[in-house]
């Protein structure tokens, strides 16, 4: 099983809403990642969790709040987003956070902020 | 910071033909990895092929192969016997072996396969 699942597939939210994105993997991976991808652009790294601890936060605004409740699950809590935050949010996982280990990507959540 | 350049925003290839996607990168590091990722429309990104910088031999995966020119800092992807399912956005990526955290992606090449 090399699957990373993400829910929901699509999300439309207003600027005052609070919502969460969910990512799950059952491959025993200890590194998990959130990326943001705008249309026709490459993914941009947002957060890295290694052994359930936040190891990288790429200067992401505080309206994005990650959470890693256990080694299989990664959440991204959203609050007071802006229209420019509309994008595809990708989750990925890797056995460990090292370049010689493959990252497996989920299908993404397409977020629209109105 | 490392930079990855894909100079071909769009490419097209006839089915069953061969196409080469180009990628150049800039780094002063000696320990790094290079990747080609494929992202079909509305589908998830998957790893196509990976090359370790310390390996001289070019990586191959079935119909996909790379031409890794370390001195020229070039890492092109060759797709042989192109199939309709190869149509996708292809991203070249660099990752340091030292820090290990950050992917540096190119801007992508959109490949169309013509039946």
Interface test with A, best of B30, B53, B101, B108 (most A CBs within 10 A): B101
Question: Are A97 and A107 within 8 A, CB to CB?
Answer: no
Mean pLDDT on A51-56:
89
- Check: CB of residue A51 under 8 Å from CB of residue A60: no
Mean pLDDT, rounded, for A19-38: 96
Q: Are A99 and B97 within 8 A, CB to CB?
A: yes
pLDDT at position B103: 85
Query: Given B52, B100, B105, which is nearest A43 (Cβ)?
Result: B105
Instruction: Please name the member of B33, B43, B107 whose beta carbon is closest to the beta carbon of A99.
Output: B33
Two structure tokens written together for B14: 């006839």
Side-chain-side CA neighbours of A43 within 13 Å: the count stands at 31
The strand pair at A31-37 and A87-94 is best described as antiparallel
Kindly report the nearest CA distance between residue B80 and chain A, in angstroms. 24
A63-107: pLDDT as tens digits = 999 999 999 999 999 999 999 999 999 999 999 999 889 899 999
Q: SS3 of A7, please?
A: strand
Round the CA-based radius of gyration of chain B to a whole number and report it.
14
**Residues of chain B with pLDDT > 70: what percent?**
97
């Amino acid at each position: 099983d090399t699957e990373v699942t993400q829910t929901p597939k699509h999300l439309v939210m207003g600027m005052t809403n609070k919502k969460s994105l969910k990512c799950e993997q059952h491959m025993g991976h200890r590194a998990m990642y959130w990326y943001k991808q705008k249309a026709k652009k490459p993914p941009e790294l947002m957060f890295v969790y290694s052994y359930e601890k936040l190891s990288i936060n790429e200067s992401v605004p505080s309206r994005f709040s990650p959470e890693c409740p256990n080694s299989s699950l990664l959440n991204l809590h959203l609050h007071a987003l802006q229209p420019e935050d509309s994008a595809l949010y990708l989750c990925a996982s890797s056995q460990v956070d090292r370049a010689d280990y493959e990252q497996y990507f989920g299908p993404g959540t397409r977020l629209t902020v109105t | 910071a490392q930079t990855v350049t894909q100079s071909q925003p769009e490419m097209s290839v006839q089915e069953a033909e061969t196409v080469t996607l180009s990628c150049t990168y800039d780094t002063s590091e000696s320990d790094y990895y290079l990747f080609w990722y494929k992202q079909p429309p509305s589908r998830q990104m998957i790893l196509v092929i990976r090359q370790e910088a310390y390996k001289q031999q070019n990586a191959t995966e079935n119909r996909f192969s790379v031409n890794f020119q370390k001195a020229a800092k070039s890492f092109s992807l060759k797709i042989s016997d192109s199939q309709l399912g190869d149509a996708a956005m292809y991203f070249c990526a660099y990752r340091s072996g030292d820090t290990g955290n950050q992917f540096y992606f190119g801007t992508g090449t959109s490949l169309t396969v013509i039946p």
